[in-house]
Amino acid sequence: MTDNGIIEITFHGRGGQTAITASQLLAKFAYEEGFKDAIAIPIIGAERRGAPIQAFTKISRNKPIKTYDSVVNPDYIMIFDTSLLAIPKVKETIREGVTLLINSAKSIDLSLFPKNLKTHLVDATGICINRGFMHSSGPILNIPMLGAFGKITGYYDLKIMEKVLKKEFGENKLEKNMIVTKDAYNSVREV
């Protein structure tokens, strides 16, 4: 958390992995949970499917957020694709004190990271494949990643997610969204 009480989250994904939508949904979950302010900051350029992308969310429990710049020293980092860990720009954001949430079915070599990290793994890709939660370019990772994030942070619960997801995607998609949410919520683990 920054000195001004703002919690900052960075999302690293690839085009088509729904990381930008995840940053926007996280802001909505926080606001619905009663946070005073929440903003999503997508970095959108000439990205194409598969290209590395970033997005950011800032949330505050008790004061308005007055900065709209990208996050430099995040409190949390969500990694949607482990191959991004090899990119220097991504590795540079991983500093002591950060909490990582990584989409991975396999163990991660923690020696790659600074000390004093909290690292959590969730197999969001496997959950999506097993549940058929896919779009034309692959798994829809945002919902399971956000389910896992809610579990590890306690910033929102499954009821808040259900309320926002129903509003965002409609009743007919709610059941499938909540199935992958619960799978990730119940399977995320600290390593």
**What whole-number distance in Å separates Cα of residue 166 and Cα of residue 137?**
24
Closest CA to 87 of 64, 68, 112, 57: 112
Handedness of CA 166, 170, 171, 177 (dihedral sign): negative
Q: Which domain holds residue 14?
A: 6-190
Residue 153's DSSP bridge partners are: none
Q: 114 or 184: whose pLDDT is higher?
A: 184
Q: What is the CATH number of the domain that holds 14?
A: 3.40.920.10
List all residues 6 or more positions away from 88 whose beta carbon is below 8 Å from its beta carbon: none
- 50 has a pLDDT exceeding 70: yes
> Based on the structure, what is the number of domains in the chain?
1
- pTM of the entire structure? 0.94
Q: In this structure, is residue 31 part of a structural domain?
A: yes
Domain-located, residue 154 = yes
Q: Does 160 reside within a domain?
A: yes
- Read out DSSP for 110-175? GGGS-SS-EEEEE-HHHHHHHHT-EETTEE--HHHHHHHHHHHH-SS-HHHHHHHHHHHH-HHHHH
Structural domain includes residue 145: yes
Percent of the chain residues past pLDDT 90, beyond the cut: 76
Instruction: Report if residue 96 sits inside a domain.
Output: yes
Residue 1 domain-assigned? no
Q: What is the pLDDT of residues 121-180, one digit of tens each?
A: 999 999 999 999 999 879 999 999 999 999 999 999 999 999 999 999 999 999 999 999
